[in-house]
Amino acid sequence: MISATVGRGAVLGAVTLSLLGVPAQAAPGQTRTEAAAALPAPDTAALRNVLRSAVKQGAPGAMARIDDHGSVYTAARGFADRRAQRAIAATDRFRVGSVTKTFTAVVLLQLVDERKLALDTSVNRYLPGLLPDNRITVRHVLSHRSGLYDYTNDLFAHTVSGFESVRKKVYTYRQLVKLSLKKARTNAPGAAYSYSNTNFVVAGMLIEKLTGHSVRSAYENRVFKPLKLKDTSYVHPDAKIPGRYARGYLTPDKAGAALIDSTEQTLSWAQSAGAIISTPRDLNTFLSALAGGKLLSSTALREMERFKKVNSTTAYGLGLRRRTLSCGVSVYGHTGVVQGYYTYAFTSKDGRRSVSALANTSNNTKVLNTMAGTLESAFCGKQSNPKRARTVFERTEDVAPSVVRR
């Protein structure tokens, strides 16, 4: 596939581009909003190179969209459907994986705003007898500090066979929690960060208990419809993606083995931890609205942004990651992994610039780490420090986070 030349609305092959005009780096003494607005201009050539590299490394396709002060830049490379040889486009729907966690956290924090939920109250107060320790609070669950074991480590210790064993299964929330409780907890409540999909299964249960409705209804009525996210849906346990979409391709553990088409699956093993379907445009709209204070009160948003350090570049709040890039800029959002899909969706502090990017494969750490370059290109521009950026190398995913990938 051939890249296009830069120009407003220009189209060639699998790439659509729009030129952005963005102010230079902020000067000392500016407010946070002024500083965010003065981010370096995106490096669009570098972004195209990131997508090109991801395809060379094994992703059938890769695409990204930047929304900035009303201007739009999109780029795409490779295929949405290998068999049909259909080019991938930044308008294609896809499974966003753990970006779902941010949607789930928003709904629960709205319930905090409505005084139906308290962050520092035991989960067992709302869901009596669910968890083995009354000290586990709602805050612990949303910040991955509950100590609840991640059952996906066992389900997907072997990538392909694990996936095929659950592809058509439909779980209840309680069945998933039961899988977790078969194993010892990783730490005492609040003692340490330990990423676990179990936490956001519990969060889904809280939503359904406190609203009296399904998580699907909660997402639709509280987020999707108010923000007019027309290409975003939660179809569990339906295995199909509605509309025009990118197919997902799972990389087997055995080097050189053929990719597995993993598009159709119930995603019942994830549900409120990872089953939302969306597009880059809708994800950018969501994150921009969140950072801009359109979904939560200022108090609730501050709670969501009470970040605690995870490693040298990443901190975690309540269903929200803060990632510090090589140029020193911090961005806010989440990564997402489900079988066949890698997602990066992040926004600036003020929500005025957002980027969402997809590669339609998974279980490929080269692609996972290459796609992180979409953030560098979008927010650091030519001020990105390639050497510093390369020092951040992920060997685990949001699915089965204790399993080291090749």
* Residue 257 burial (10 A CB sphere; 0-12, 13-18, 19+): exposed
> In the numeric block, which tokens belong to residue 200?
């956001």
Which residues lie below 8 Å from residue 206, measured CB to CB, with a gap of 6+? 108, 111, 117, 123, 126, 127, 138, 141
Is residue 312 flagged as an active site residue?
no
For residue 190, the one-letter residue type is G
Residue labelled with tokens 């208990």: 209
Residue labelled with tokens 């010892």: 184
Are 283 and 357 in contact by the 8 Å Cβ rule? The answer is no
Residue labelled with tokens 């929304």: 67
* Residue 218 burial (10 A CB sphere; 0-12, 13-18, 19+): buried
> Cα(124)–Cα(195) distance, rounded to whole angstroms?
20
Are 246 and 149 in contact by the 8 Å Cβ rule? The answer is no
Which residues lie below 8 Å from residue 29, measured CB to CB, with a gap of 6+? none
Query: What's the CA angle centered on 163, arms 319 and 372, to 5 degrees?
Result: 45
* Residue 83 burial (10 A CB sphere; 0-12, 13-18, 19+): exposed
Longest dimension (CA), the chain: 60
Q: Omega before 42 cis (within 30°)? A: no
Query: What's the CA angle centered on 183, arms 180 and 185, to 5 degrees?
Result: 85
- Which of 3, 98, 143, 278 is the catalytic position? 98
Are 203 and 143 in contact by the 8 Å Cβ rule? The answer is no
> Cα(20)–Cα(71) distance, rounded to whole angstroms?
6
**Of the candidates 237, 242, 206, 247, the residue with the CA atom closest to the CA atom of residue 224:** 242
Q: Which residues are catalytic?
A: 98
